[in-house]
A and B are shown apart, each in its own frame.
Chain A
Amino acid sequence: MKTENQKAWFFVLPVLVLVAFNALIPMMTVVNYSVQETFGDNVFFWQGLDWFEQILRSDRFHAALGRQFLFTFLILIIEVPLGIIIALAMPRKGFWVPVCLVTMALPMLIPWNVVGAMWNIFTLPDIGLLGYFLNHVLGVSYDMTQNPLAAWVTIVTMDVWHWTSLVVLLAYAGLVSIPDAYYQAAKIDGASNWAVFRFIQLPKMKTVLTIAILLRFMDSFNIYTEPFVLTGGGPGNSTTLLSIDLVKIALGQFDLGPAAAMSLIYFAITLLVSWLFYTLMTKDDLN
């Protein structure tokens, strides 16, 4: 059991100061903007909750939010099962384990805009490897600057390429923690592969998979740089996800009020969903 000790606050203080400096002050600025109107020159007028109402009713926000949920849904439904399948098929010991782990983790260590630029080069219709292969070998007409569907397939594939390894590594960490005795017992009982997965491997992976889903949710819901570099939100608005739209409003049009209100709504949604996952996760920790 943990002992009660209020002096522990002193240990936490440096963290608290640094994070609060970075989190609270900018957050207050955002809150400030969200309730005011400005015409520049640092002159502000009280606006109340008008911006929030305007954003919540705007079709543009609904469309971006819809695209965002679709994107995150696709990411979770593809990456989580795929990650589990790959983790199950990975070797458990020997020379190939570190090779697999290092090569798989590599995409995650590439700066996000380089990921976007790399996929741009990879998919250029006439000179990219994938683009050339699709257009000139398979004869599929593929150009993501023209075709919204191609753009969507590309950003989802890019994210699968970029982040499936996170799920793989987490699931793998769960799998290697299962003692051999469990498998031996299952073998004696004559359990099928599916039964082993369902009753031994899946329960052991539950905590790490919750972490995986939580992280993948947060990061895919907040994604900005990679799709921005790759498609710029286009063609048209077809791949304008929430963050891209937000930056367009804030820095492109300099509509600070609406952008701030949108930021807060956006943050609130992320927070709410993440909180649900977090409660699920800590409930597991207690058992």
Chain B
Amino acid sequence: MQKRSIIPIVYILFLMLPIYWLVAMSFKTTNEILSGFSLFPQTFTLENYVTIFTDPTWYWGYINSILYVSINTVISVAVALPAAYAFSRYRFLGDKQLFFWLLTNRMAPAAVFALPFFQLYSAVGIFDTHLAVALAHCLFNIPLAVWILEGFMGGIPKELDETAYVDGYSFPRFFGTIFIPSIKAGVGVAAFFCFMFSWVELLLAKTLTAVAAKPIAATMTKTASSAGYELGLLAAAGTLTIIPGAIVIWFVRNYIAKGFAMGRV
């Protein structure tokens, strides 16, 4: 048994190495980075972090990202809940085709849509707003949320619905007070996945914003190219983008395995 645990340990070490390097870099001065190789920061500095937390173009990047990710998560889960219920409980005309069509949107390369999205959202007049990015990310997050929630709802016996109706519950009351609480884990996992994919996506977020709603990731690419080689600053900004994900993942740690299986185990 002990011998076996070597495999996950080695794997986790492999995962942590590049992250360690990013964090180590973020505490080094630019001079130290460019002057040569050092395994640990020799002159430990917080200067890079100070720059990020005092420069509005930097910290607004974080606020923007968190804003559109939150809006997207709320919209996606809210509209996916009734839809997933319909798919899990009823047969209706074109249900299978519709379900597959929803999934196909998860397959479309974002690169295909970048330019048309820009034109569409400019025409509607919400270019460079948080709402634009949040709505655009619905393209792949809603199908995913429906898929996950449908999986979790499938595990709830239909008798629950029937008993509630016999007891005189109306549909909205049943759905809100009995059904949703009984798939809490599924809702949490769906929200987690929406957060995750909206947080990590950059191509559309960058295309749909200019100044007012610019995501942190786009601020980083601009720094990387315009200010030359500010590796320490880049590393600090990168390190800070890992933190929201790490916090969110901790909350769903007990459901994460089932969540990745879309509730289908």
A and B assemble together: yes
Q: Do A5 and B92 contact each other (CB < 8 Å), given the known contacts A12-B98, A19-B139, A225-B203?
A: yes
Q: What is the 8 Å Cβ interface bit string for chain A, positions 163-188, against chain B (1 contact, 0 not)?
A: 01110111011101100000000000
CB neighbours of A169 from chain B (8 A)? 256-257, 260-261
Cβ of B102 and Cβ of A19 under 8 Å apart? yes
Residue of B17, B105, B136, B245 near A110 (CB, 8 A) is B245
- A–B complex contacts, Cβ < 8 Å, 25 sampled: A6-B92, A16-B98, A18-B75, A22-B139, A26-B116, A103-B16, A106-B245, A107-B15, A109-B200, A109-B248, A110-B200, A110-B241, A111-B201, A111-B202, A111-B216, A112-B201, A113-B217, A113-B220, A166-B260, A170-B260, A173-B265, A211-B262, A243-B111, A251-B114, A275-B100
CB neighbours of A113 from chain B (8 A)? 202, 217, 220-221
The residue on B at minimum CB distance from A14 is B79
Which residues from 3 to 38 on chain A have a C-beta closer than 8 Å to any C-beta of chain B? 3-9, 11-12, 14-16, 18-19, 21-23, 25-27, 29-30
Cβ of B22 and Cβ of A5 under 8 Å apart? no
- In this assembly, does A51 line the interface, its C-beta being within 8 Å of a C-beta of chain B? no
Residue of B89, B98, B234 near A2 (CB, 8 A) is B89
- In this assembly, does B85 line the interface, its C-beta being within 8 Å of a C-beta of chain A? yes
CA of A165 to CA of B248, assembled, Å: 17
Cβ of B18 and Cβ of A127 under 8 Å apart? no
CA of A100 to CA of B139, assembled, Å: 31
The residue on B at minimum CB distance from A264 is B112
Partner-contacting stretch, out of B6-14, B45-53, B177-185: B6-14
* Dominant secondary structure of chain A at its interface with chain B: helix
Interface residues of A (CB under 8 A from B): 2-9, 11-12, 14-16, 18-19, 21-23, 25-27, 29-30, 85-86, 89-91, 98, 100-114, 117-119, 121-122, 126-130, 132, 136, 161, 164-166, 168-170, 172-174, 176-177, 207-208, 211, 218, 221-222, 224-225, 229, 242-243, 246-247, 250-251, 256, 259, 263, 266-267, 270-271, 274-275, 278, 285
CB neighbours of B71 from chain A (8 A)? none
Which residues from 65 to 104 on chain B have a C-beta closer than 8 Å to any C-beta of chain A? 75, 79-80, 82-83, 85-87, 89-93, 95, 98, 100, 102-104
The residue on A at minimum CB distance from B75 is A18
Cβ of B265 and Cβ of A177 under 8 Å apart? yes
The residue on A at minimum CB distance from B100 is A278
The 3 closest A-B pairs by CB, nearest first: A109-B245, A26-B116, A11-B86
- In this assembly, does B191 line the interface, its C-beta being within 8 Å of a C-beta of chain A? no
Cβ of A102 and Cβ of B253 under 8 Å apart? yes
Cβ of A86 and Cβ of B36 under 8 Å apart? no
* Dominant secondary structure of chain B at its interface with chain A: helix
CA of A239 to CA of B83, assembled, Å: 41
Min CB gap A41→B, angstroms: 15
CB neighbours of A6 from chain B (8 A)? 92-93
Cβ of B18 and Cβ of A105 under 8 Å apart? no
Q: Do A118 and B79 contact each other (CB < 8 Å), given the known contacts A9-B92, A12-B86, A174-B265?
A: no
CA of A107 to CA of B245, assembled, Å: 9
Cβ of B264 and Cβ of A208 under 8 Å apart? yes
Cβ of A250 and Cβ of B115 under 8 Å apart? yes
CB neighbours of A118 from chain B (8 A)? 18-19, 21-22, 238
Q: Do A222 and B241 contact each other (CB < 8 Å), given the known contacts A103-B15, A111-B199?
A: no
Cβ of B18 and Cβ of A161 under 8 Å apart? yes
CA of A177 to CA of B258, assembled, Å: 9
Q: Do A18 and B79 contact each other (CB < 8 Å), given the known contacts A101-B256, A127-B34?
A: yes
Min CB gap A14→B, angstroms: 4
Residue of B8, B37, B86, B111 near A247 (CB, 8 A) is B111
CB neighbours of B116 from chain A (8 A)? 25-27, 29-30
Cβ of A165 and Cβ of B21 under 8 Å apart? no
Residue of A126, A128, A211 near B261 (CB, 8 A) is A211
- In this assembly, does B228 line the interface, its C-beta being within 8 Å of a C-beta of chain A? no
Q: Do A117 and B115 contact each other (CB < 8 Å), given the known contacts A104-B15, A173-B257?
A: no
CA of A224 to CA of B8, assembled, Å: 29
Residue of A109, A161, A221, A246 near B196 (CB, 8 A) is A109
- In this assembly, does B186 line the interface, its C-beta being within 8 Å of a C-beta of chain A? no
CB neighbours of B220 from chain A (8 A)? 113-114, 117
The residue on A at minimum CB distance from B78 is A14
Min CB gap A162→B, angstroms: 9
The residue on B at minimum CB distance from A270 is B107
CA of A278 to CA of B110, assembled, Å: 21
